[in-house]
Amino acid sequence: MRRADGQGGAEPMLQANLVITVCLLYVAVLFTVAFICDRQARAGRARWSASPLIYTLSISVYCTSWTFFGAVGSAARSGLEFATIYIGPTIVFTGWWVFLRKLVTVGRVHNTTSIADLISARFGKNPALGAVVTLVALVVTTPYIALQLQALTASFQVITFPAGAVTATKIDLVPDYWSGAWVALGLAVFSIMFGVRNIDVNERHHGVIAAIALEAVVKLVALLAVGLWVVFWLAGSPAAALADAPVSLTNPQQTFGVRWVTLCILSGAAIICLPRQFQVTVVENSNERQLRTASWLFPLYLFVFCLLVLPIAVTGLNRLPPDANPDLYVLTLPLDAGQDVIALMAFIGGFSSATSMVIVSSIALSTMISNHIVTPLALRFSSLSDANAETVRSFILGSRRASILFIILLGFLYFRLAATAGALADIGLISFCGAAQFLPALVGGLYWRRATHKGALAGMIAGFLVWAYMLFLPSFQDHFLISTALVQNGPFGWAWLKPRTLFGLSGLDPLVHAAFWSLFVNTALFVVVSMMTEPTPLARLQSALFIDVFRRRTESEQRVLRRTAPITELRQIADRVLGPAETVQIFVRDRRAGRATVASDELITAVEQRLAAHIGAASARTMISRIVSSETISVEELKRLAGETERIRAYSAELERKSQQIESTAAELARANARLREVDKQKDDFLSQISHELRTPMASIRSFSDILLENQDLDEAKKLRFLGIIQNESLRLTRLLDGILDMNLLETRGLSWSPGLLDPEMALDQAIESCEALALRSGVVLKRGTRTRDVLILGDRDKLAQVMVNLIANAIKYNTDPTPQVVVSSRVRGDIYEASVRDNGRGVPEEDRERIFEKFARGSAHQQTGAGLGLAISRQIVESFGGRLGLGTGRSGAEFVVSLPLQPLPGTGRERADLPKA
C-alpha cells in the first residue's frame, strides 16, 4: 500500500493478506447463501427467502458505505444533520403508507421490471420516456457507485497502512486505483452470476436478495460492535461518551432549517426513486404482507443503525488528532486503541455496505439499459425480431451482462476522474437530488389522470439539466466540462446564470438551491405541458388501470384494446422470448388458440404481459406491434371506464353527503328525543303539582263543611269563621284554575288582545294603587322611585297592569327584611322601556334565577304559599308584547325588570298611523 509522503516499511496494523483473505471468505459465504437460495427457489422450497423479514432487510441496501462511514463524518462536521438521511425514509414508510402501498401494488399487478418500466408503462408504454428515465438513472447512479469504490479502497488502505495507529489517522491517502479495479471486477462477477441468470427480470432474485439480507445483518452488527465498544469500553458510559461534545455538534439551532427540510425530502424521494431501492421495494415485492412488516421494521432498523453515530463522532473528535478524517472514525478509533478485531469488523461492515449497493444498483440498471435502450435499438435496426429463440434469449442475457460491466466500469472511471478533485465528499446527496427528478412523474402518474407523456418528458429532462448544471457538473471542480470561472462568474459573465445563485437567488446552500430550482422547473413543466397536450388513448387506458389499481386489474385492458394478429406469428414471438414451455402454458389457457388462425384480444394481451416481465412494457409493445395487423382502442370502453370511475367517485361523494345528513338527522332526533323526555317529565311534574295544589284547598273546604253539617249547635262566631275559611279556599281554588287556564291559553293560542299604543306609566300607577292596601297590612313600605314620562309601548294596559301587580305583590309577600321596603321605578335605556320592582330582602339564589319562572316553581323554602304560576304567566305576557321579564343584577335584594320596546311619540313625525291608540 502507498502513502502520500512515500514512507513505508513499518509493520502494518493488519496484514493485507489477512484482510484480503477475510474478504474472500466473506464473499464466499455470500456466494454460498446466494447459490443455496437460488437452488431452493428453482425447487420451490424458498418460502423463507420471500419472508417479510428478508424483504425488509433487503431494503436496507439503502445504507451504503456513505451511510456506514459517512454518517459519522457528517455528524462530526454538521452535528445532527446526519439524522435527516434516516428521517426521510422513516416518514415515507410510516407516514406515506397510502402512496407506498399503491406504488408496490401497481408494480406487482403490472409485472413492473424497473422504475423506467413503470413510468413508461403509465404514460402509454412510451419508449422515449423509458429511455430518458434510464439515462437519468445511469448518470445519477454512476457517481454513487464510484463513491462505494472510493470507500472500499480508502478503508482498505487505512486498515493495512504500515505505520503507528495514530499516524494512520493523519495519512493523506492517494486513491488506489489498482485495488479499485479488482474490487469493481469482483462485484461485476457476483452481480452477473446471481443477478442475470434468466431473462425474466420480474422473477424474484432470491439468491441476491438473501445475500443482501445477510449483508444487512453484518453491517448492522459491525456498526453496533464499534459503537458499543466506544460507549461502554472506550468512554465508560453513554453519558461519558457525550460529555465533551462540542456545542456545534448538538446545537438545536441547526435543526428544522431549510436545509433540514430539503434533506428530509430528498432522502424520502431517494428511498423510492433510486433504481436499487425501487428494485428491492417494488420489483422484489411478492405480497402486501411484506410491505406491512417493512413499514415498521425498516424504520426500526434505521433507528438502531443511527443510534450510536453521535457517540462515535464525539469520541473521535475528542480522542483523535484534529486533522483526522471524520469519515474514517469508525475504523481509526479501534485502530488507535489497538483493537484490530473490532477494526476488522468495521471494515467488513463497510465492505458489506458498499458491495450490496453496487450489486443491486448494477442489476437494476442493467435491466433498464437492456429493456429501454439496447433491445429497442436492436428491434429497430437489426433482425432480432426474426431471430430464433436461442438467439433472442442469448442477446437479452448478453446485453444485461454487458450492461453490468459497463455500469461498474463507468463507476470506476468516475472514481478515477473525480477522486483526486475531492468531488466525492457530497456525491451521495448530489445523487439523491438527481434521483428526485423522477418524483413528479411518479406521483403524478399514480394520482393525476390528465398527466401526459409529453409533460413527464419535458419536466424530467428540464429538471435533470438544471440539476446537472447547478450541482452535478460543478462538483468536478475544473476536471470535467465546467470550469471554476464559470461557476463563480456565470457563462459569458452573466451573473444571473451563475450555478450557485441562479436568477439572482442567493443566500441558500448549494444543495438546497439546486433542489429547489430543479424540482420547481420539473414539476411546473410537467403540469403545464400536461395541461396543454392530450394523452393518447393508450395512455388514458393505462392511467385508469394504474390510478384505479385497487378497483380493477389488468383484465380491463382486454375490453378496451381491440387487436388482431396471426396466431402463428404471435406464437413465434412468445417462443423466442419466453421459451417453448411457458409459451405452451399461455396458449393452452386460451381454448380458441388451437382452432383459430387469428389470436384473440385476451391471448395477445396475455402474451404481451409475459413479454413485459422479460423485456419491459415498452419493448414488449414494440414486438407485439410488429405482428398486429389492426389495433383500435374502444373510445366507448374508455368512456365507460372513465364514467365508471366518475360514477364511483360521485357515488362516494353522495354516500358521504347522505352519511353527513344521517348524522345530522340522528343528532336532531337525539335532541328531539331528549326534549320529549324532558316534556314528559314536565307533564308528570305538572300533573303531580296540580293534584297537590287542588287537593289542599279542596281538603280544607270538605273538612270545614263536614264540621258545619255535623255540628248544628256551633255558635255563630265559629260558623262565620269556618264559612270564611271555606270562602277563602274557594277563592284560592278559583284563582288556581284561572291561572292554569291562562297558562294554557298563553302556551297554545297566545294572548287574545288587540295591539295598541299605551302609556306604560299609567299601568304602573294602577298596579301601585292596587297593592297599597296589601303593603299597609303587611307592614311593607311601598315607594315610588325614579320615574320616566312621555313614553309609549305597544301592548295591553290591563295585562301589563296584571304583570306589575303580580311582581309588586310577590315583593311585598316574600320580603323577609326586618324593615321591608319595595321600590317601583322606571327608566329608558336607548329604545327600551324598563320598569323594575326591587325589594331589600335576601334576594334570589343564583341556582333559582331561571327556575322561578317555571310553572309551579318557588324560589326558597319560605315561599310555600301560592300556586307558583304568577311569574310564569307574567313572563308569557311580557314576551307576547315583544319584551322580556328577568332578574336584575343587583347584589342586595331581588329586582324584577320588565323590558319593552319603545314606540315613537305622536307629533314627532315618527308615529305609526296604522296602530290604534290604547
**pLDDT tens string 13-32:** 567 788 888 888 988 888 88
Residue type, 587: F
Q: Distance (Å, rounded) from C-alpha 228 to C-alpha 238? A: 9
For the chain, give the number of residues: 918
Query: pLDDT at residue 804 above 70?
Result: yes
Report the SS3 class of residue 13.
Answer: coil
| Better-predicted residue by pLDDT, 848 or 231 | 231
Predicted confidence (pLDDT) per residue in 258-274, tens digit: 888 999 999 999 999 99
Q: Distance (Å, rounded) from C-alpha 398 to C-alpha 392? A: 10
Residue type, 734: T
CB 172 within 8 A of CB 4: yes
Query: pLDDT at residue 96 above 70?
Result: yes
| Better-predicted residue by pLDDT, 295 or 904 | 295
Identify the pLDDT of residue 2. 35
**Distance from the Cα of residue 16 to its chain's centroid:** 51
Phi, psi of 825 (to 5 degrees): -145, 170
Mean pLDDT of 457-466: 95
Pairing of strands 781-784, 821-829: parallel
Query: pLDDT at residue 317 above 90?
Result: no
Q: Where are the alpha helices (DSSP H) in 43-126?
A: 52-59, 65-68, 70-78, 84-95, 97-109, 115-122
Report the SS3 class of residue 480.
Answer: strand
CA angle, corner 321, sides to 316 and 325, nearest 5? 65
Banded model confidence at residue 527, pLDDT cuts 50, 70, 90: very high
Q: Distance (Å, rounded) from C-alpha 511 to C-alpha 516? A: 9
Residue type, 139: V
Residues with Cβ within 8 Å of residue 803, at least 6 apart in sequence: 874, 877, 878, 885, 898
Identify the pLDDT of residue 732. 62
Identify the pLDDT of residue 359. 87
Interhelix angle 70-78/329-336, nearest 10 degrees: 90
Q: What is the mean pLDDT of the chain?
A: 78
Predicted confidence (pLDDT) per residue in 278-313, tens digit: 999 998 888 888 999 999 999 999 999 888 898 998
Query: pLDDT at residue 557 above 50?
Result: no
Predicted confidence (pLDDT) per residue in 607-633, tens digit: 777 777 777 676 777 777 666 665 555
Identify the pLDDT of residue 914. 41
Looking at the chain, the whole-number percentage of residues with pLDDT higher than 70 is 75
- Range name among 161-165, 359-363, 364-368 with the lowest pLDDT average: 161-165
Banded model confidence at residue 466, pLDDT cuts 50, 70, 90: very high
Q: Distance (Å, rounded) from C-alpha 828 to C-alpha 823? A: 17
Highest mean pLDDT among 12-16, 343-347, 754-758: 343-347
Predicted confidence (pLDDT) per residue in 773-798, tens digit: 778 888 889 898 889 888 999 888 87
Q: Distance (Å, rounded) from C-alpha 823 to C-alpha 892? A: 13
Banded model confidence at residue 751, pLDDT cuts 50, 70, 90: low
Query: pLDDT at residue 325 above 60?
Result: yes
CB 90 within 8 A of CB 60: no
Identify the pLDDT of residue 750. 54
Q: Distance (Å, rounded) from C-alpha 192 to C-alpha 397? A: 10
Query: pLDDT at residue 586 above 70?
Result: yes
Looking at the chain, the whole-number percentage of residues with pLDDT higher than 90 is 19
Query: pLDDT at residue 468 above 60?
Result: yes
Identify the pLDDT of residue 148. 87
Residue type, 413: L
- Residue 422 CB neighbours (<10 A): 10
Q: Distance (Å, rounded) from C-alpha 358 to C-alpha 184? A: 9
Candidates 628, 540, 618, 614; CA nearest to 582 is 614
Predicted confidence (pLDDT) per residue in 489-515, tens digit: 777 777 777 777 777 777 778 888 899
Predicted confidence (pLDDT) per residue in 645-704, tens digit: 555 555 555 666 677 777 777 777 888 787 777 666 766 666 665 665 566 567 667 777
Predicted confidence (pLDDT) per residue in 590-599, tens digit: 655 555 677 7
Cell numbers for 724, please give them. 270564611
| Better-predicted residue by pLDDT, 418 or 762 | 762
**Total-model pTM:** 0.64
* Residues paired with residue 821 on neighbouring β-strands, in sequence order: 781
Identify the pLDDT of residue 555. 44
Q: Distance (Å, rounded) from C-alpha 206 to C-alpha 35? A: 9
CB 183 within 8 A of CB 336: no
Candidates 315, 278, 305; CA nearest to 82 is 305
- Range name among 382-386, 692-696, 747-751, 860-864 with the lowest pLDDT average: 860-864
- Residue 391 CB neighbours (<10 A): 13
Which run of H or E residues covers position 851? Answer: none
Q: Distance (Å, rounded) from C-alpha 913 to C-alpha 62? A: 89
Identify the pLDDT of residue 561. 60
Mean pLDDT of 354-371: 88
| Better-predicted residue by pLDDT, 879 or 562 | 879
- State the number of CA atoms in the 13 A half-sphere of 18 facing the CB: 12
Q: Distance (Å, rounded) from C-alpha 356 to C-alpha 215? A: 7
Q: Distance (Å, rounded) from C-alpha 504 to C-alpha 511? A: 16
Banded model confidence at residue 38, pLDDT cuts 50, 70, 90: confident
Q: Where are the alpha helices (DSSP H) in 436-536?
A: 439-447, 453-467, 484-489, 510-532
Mean pLDDT of 475-494: 69
Phi, psi of 552 (to 5 degrees): -145, 155
Identify the pLDDT of residue 111. 81
Please state, in angstroms and as integers, the Cα–Cα distance from residue 308 to each residue in 110, 151, 267, following that order: 41, 20, 20
Residues with Cβ within 8 Å of residue 177, at least 6 apart in sequence: 153, 415, 416
